[in-house]
Amino acid sequence: MGQGCNPFLPSWEYIPDGEPHLFGDRVYLYGSHDRFNAPMFCQNDYVCWSAPADDLTDWHMEGVIYRKNQDPKNRLGVRLLFAPDVTQGPDGRFYLYYAFDLMGIMGVAVSEAPAGPYTFLDHVHYPDGTLWGRRPGDHFPFDPAVLTDEDQRVWLYSGYVGDVPSISTGGKKLKTEGGVVLELEKDMVTIRQEPKLLFPKEGDGAFENHAFFEASSIRRDGDRYIFVYSSQHNHELCYAVSDRPDGGFTFGGTLVDQGDLFLDGNQDIDESKGLNYLGNNHGGLLHLGEDWYIFYHRQTNRHSYSRQACAEKLTLNPDGSFQQAEVTSCGLNGGPLPGKGKYGTYIACNLWSKDGVERVDGPNVKKRLEAHPYFTQTGRDREEDGDQYIANMRDGATAGFKYFQITGAPRVKLELGGFGSGTMQISDTPAFDHPSVIHCNLDGKRTVCKGVLPVSNGVKALYFRYRGNGAIDFHSFELY
């Protein structure tokens, strides 16, 4: 096996909304496809990545599997492909479900193989041919999750809570009351049972403090159905469980939060106390043997439009419930990272300024985040030799990495850039008790600074805090 980190795909790849599925002996990852430094979500065509089921560190790019302009309602490619899902249908073929941004219809494409290529099949519609989303009062089609059950019945989940301009939906006013389910015929496109509200955004049936917002995902595990979704807080993924696919779900808890809010039962929702920058979240569960994983995404570049795929292993309790996963740098590695070697700082799982963190969406984002550190890259989108790093570390900015297996008394080399004069403090605790201190004076050129790592043997986190003037860039560190 190789070495795995978060994000687990190459640093130049931006795949949010990840849905992992095991088909045969490989895990296939389907998701939206962001563009580096883009002005909007999901500007690239769908691609697929896959890995052997016995080595989730070895990801292979399968290529483009579906293009925006393959849908006859988007021949000019101006509509964006939002979060997709894939299922193997009763006929053995593979079906890709997608929604075009806020257009309010759902498309379906089909392939003979899980990695595509996929060809357009149809849009989800009622038996009379009316497209779902084009009847007044329809639930808004968005973020599909699809399940071909063991009895070969096909269930499609969807939902969004928010304002949708009627101009985007053909002038129709559609419902955005929460998460819904409908049943499809075996042709995979015709509605057999009409949409039913399962996860209301408010009132009776809503999950207190963790109500449904978007990002539907569904799995079956034995006799239970596990529904994953993004809550009203938007930066966490929660789950609910039922013994049937079309109702009776009870709240299970939080699976992962981008900033580790809610961890260990903490219900303090002061977002500034998060351990990383916050924005929308979307992902799904993967079950391999006795192991469970939650896939999610993180934000980069001080906005919501360049998101990257991450994953964490989950702990399953004896009663079948999941513990919330801690966000880490080692992700799919199967354990801590070696305490020797060179690491790009893009694998930081914790990042904050002296004033904490902010959301990377909402009003006045650019102004609010001027003094905050952030992940970015050199080069343009999809340049494989691009260097992703942490930029704009000002006084008090901290980057945290979890976890490393420290042995011996390693030293450390820091590769820094930018303009500033001060020190980089290093510790294995965020309180920086008895830190090592490395002096650095930067004039815009890449500079290597050396020091001692003040960490005893064992599985340790590493925190780096800049104290000084100016704004520095943190490119890499080497433990040796």
In the block, which residue shows the tokens 């004069």? 421
Q: How far apart are CA 365 and CA 350, in angstroms?
A: 20
The values of phi and psi at residue 211, to 5°, are -70, 155
In the block, which residue shows the tokens 């351990």? 275
Q: What confidence tens digit (pLDDT) does each residue in 409-431 have?
A: 789 999 999 999 999 999 999 99
Contact 84, 114 (CB under 8 A): no
Q: Which position has the higher pLDDT, 284 or 455?
A: 284
Does residue 167 register a pLDDT over 80?
no
Q: What is the mean pLDDT of residues 189-202?
A: 97
Does residue 267 register a pLDDT over 90?
no
| Shared domain check, 354 and 322 | no
Predicted confidence at residue 264, as pLDDT, reads 87
Please say which residue of 309, 335, 361 terminates a domain: 335
Predicted confidence at residue 353, as pLDDT, reads 98
Q: How many CB atoms lie within 10 A of CB 273?
A: 14
Domain harbouring 360, CATH code: 2.60.120.260
Length of the chain: 480
Contact 417, 442 (CB under 8 A): yes
Q: What confidence tens digit (pLDDT) does each residue in 342-394 have?
A: 999 999 999 999 999 999 999 999 999 999 999 999 999 998 888 899 999 99
Domain harbouring 54, CATH code: 2.115.10.20
Please say which residue of 335, 369, 397 terminates a domain: 335
| Shared domain check, 214 and 71 | yes
Whether residue 84 has a cis bond before it, omega within 30° of 0 = no
Q: In sequence order, what are the residues at sequence separation of 6 or more whose Cβ sits closer than 8 angstroms to the Cβ of residue 285? A: 20, 217, 219, 226, 228, 239, 255, 292, 293, 294, 295, 314
Q: What is the mean pLDDT of residues 243-268?
A: 94
Rounded to the nearest integer, the mean pLDDT of the chain is 96
Predicted confidence at residue 338, as pLDDT, reads 96
| Shared domain check, 315 and 345 | no
| Shared domain check, 398 and 272 | no
Predicted confidence at residue 430, as pLDDT, reads 97
Q: How many CB atoms lie within 10 A of CB 365?
A: 16
The values of phi and psi at residue 160, to 5°, are -160, 145
Beta-sheet strand order (sheet of 145-148): 145-148, 154-160, 178-184, 191-200
Catalytic residue positions? 17, 214
Q: What confidence tens digit (pLDDT) does each residue in 204-240 have?
A: 999 999 999 999 999 999 999 999 999 999 999 999 9
| Shared domain check, 369 and 329 | no
Handedness of CA 277, 389, 39, 295 (dihedral sign): negative
Residue range of the domain that includes 462? 341-479
Domain membership of residue 197 (yes or no) is yes
How many distinct structural domains can be found in the chain?
A: 2
Does residue 265 register a pLDDT over 90?
no
Q: How many CB atoms lie within 10 A of CB 366?
A: 8
Q: What is the mean pLDDT of residues 441-463?
A: 95
Q: How far apart are CA 420 and CA 279, in angstroms?
A: 29
Q: How far apart are CA 74 and CA 447, in angstroms?
A: 49
Domain membership of residue 4 (yes or no) is no
Provide the H-helix boundaries in 310-468. 365-368
371: buried, middle or exposed (CB in 10 Å: 19+, 13-18, 0-12)?
Answer: middle
Q: What is the mean pLDDT of residues 99-103?
A: 92
Please say which residue of 335, 367, 395 terminates a domain: 335
DSSP annotation of 359: B
| Shared domain check, 408 and 268 | no
| Shared domain check, 391 and 322 | no
83: tokens are 């979060």
Does residue 308 register a pLDDT over 90?
yes
Predicted confidence at residue 148, as pLDDT, reads 98
The values of phi and psi at residue 70, to 5°, are -75, -25
The values of phi and psi at residue 273, to 5°, are -90, 0
Rg (C-alpha) for the chain, rounded Å, is: 23
| Shared domain check, 323 and 397 | no
| Shared domain check, 150 and 89 | yes
Predicted confidence at residue 204, as pLDDT, reads 95
Does residue 436 register a pLDDT over 80?
yes
Predicted confidence at residue 384, as pLDDT, reads 86
Q: How far apart are CA 299 and CA 329, in angstroms?
A: 14
| Shared domain check, 160 and 115 | yes
Predicted confidence at residue 2, as pLDDT, reads 85
Pairing of strands 303-314, 436-443: unpaired
Predicted confidence at residue 410, as pLDDT, reads 86
Confidence of residue 1 (pLDDT cuts 50, 70, 90): confident
